[in-house]
């Protein structure tokens, strides 16, 4: 079995892969997530960024199986990534109040030395309750809102914002586990670790 590398420093992605029983190491990519054209389809945007992350790490580890991933929010015809500051995080969350937004996660898997590549994305619709200002303030004050697309993490206290979701919950957390599992099975990769 090839060495498996997650090209990410995301604790959420690491936790999800660990829960699947995947034996891997993490090597974050050096790709700057801020400098990309946002005027493309959200599915293409997150898959392209996942590809850049994985390819960056695969260039230095050509014999390893490298997994890159990126999660974004699509709302009001705009791609929303991680907020740049507290003010922007608060604005994002306020904008989602009583509305539905889409969460996209793109994944790119590569083994460079044999030119093996798999690319896919998943989409989940998330609807927020009508939010109280004090709840938004409490969340912003007590939780890290700057390292998550849209400023919130569905797995943290901000789960109270959620009225309903349509699609994969883990996709909103940051990695589409079930779709990843199915495509790994179809492509006969990770068979020694995924059960």
The catalytic residue positions are: 70
Task: Look at residue 173 in the predicted model and tell me its pLDDT.
Answer: 94
Task: Look at residue 194 in the predicted model and tell me its pLDDT.
Answer: 45
Give the single-character DSSP code of 178. Answer: H
Q: Given pLDDT bands bounded at 50, 70 and 90, which one contains residue 34? A: low
The tokens of 152 are what?
């919130």
Task: Look at residue 38 in the predicted model and tell me its pLDDT.
Answer: 65
Task: Look at residue 193 in the predicted model and tell me its pLDDT.
Answer: 47
pTM, to two decimals: 0.91
| Rounded Cα distance, 9 and 42, in Å | 22
**pLDDT tens across 48-71, in order?**
999 999 999 999 999 999 999 999
Task: Look at residue 191 in the predicted model and tell me its pLDDT.
Answer: 55
Task: Look at residue 33 in the predicted model and tell me its pLDDT.
Answer: 67
Q: Given pLDDT bands bounded at 50, 70 and 90, which one contains residue 189? A: confident
Q: Which domains does the chain have, with CATH numbers?
A: 4-186 (3.90.950.10)
Q: Given pLDDT bands bounded at 50, 70 and 90, which one contains residue 37? A: low
pLDDT at 192 over 80: no
For the segment 165-178, the average pLDDT, to the nearest whole number, is 95
**pLDDT tens across 104-161, in order?**
999 999 999 999 999 999 999 999 999 999 999 999 999 999 989 999 999 999 999 9
42, 86, 96 from 103: Cα distances, Å:
9, 21, 12
**pLDDT tens across 62-98, in order?**
999 999 999 999 999 999 988 999 999 999 999 999 9
| Rounded Cα distance, 17 and 15, in Å | 6
Instruction: Give the strand pairing for 65-75 and 4-6.
Output: parallel
Task: Look at residue 46 in the predicted model and tell me its pLDDT.
Answer: 94
For the segment 187-194, the average pLDDT, to the nearest whole number, is 62
DSSP per position, 49-76: HHHHHHHHHHTT-TTSEEEEEEEEEEET
């Amino acid at each position: 079995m090839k060495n498996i590398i997650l090209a990410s420093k995301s604790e959420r992605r690491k936790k999800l892969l660990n829960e699947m029983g995947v034996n891997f190491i993490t090597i974050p990519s050096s790709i700057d997530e801020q400098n990309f054209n946002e005027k493309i389809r959200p599915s293409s945007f997150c898959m392209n960024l996942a590809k850049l992350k994985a390819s960056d790490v695969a260039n230095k580890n050509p014999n390893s199986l490298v997994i890159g991933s990126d999660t974004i929010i699509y709302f009001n015809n705009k791609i929303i990534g991680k907020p740049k500051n507290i003010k922007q995080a608060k604005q994002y969350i306020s904008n989602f109040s009583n509305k539905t937004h889409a969460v996209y996660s793109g994944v790119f898997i590569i083994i460079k030395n044999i030119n093996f590549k798999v690319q896919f994305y998943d989409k989940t619709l998330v609807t927020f309750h009508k939010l109280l200002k004090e709840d938004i303030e409490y969340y912003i004050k007590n939780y890290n809102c700057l390292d998550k697309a849209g400023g919130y993490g569905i797995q943290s206290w901000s789960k109270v914002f959620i009225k309903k979701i349509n699609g994969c919950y883990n996709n909103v957390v940051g990695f589409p586990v079930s779709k990843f599992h199915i495509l790994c099975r179809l492509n006969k990769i990770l068979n020694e670790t995924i059960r």
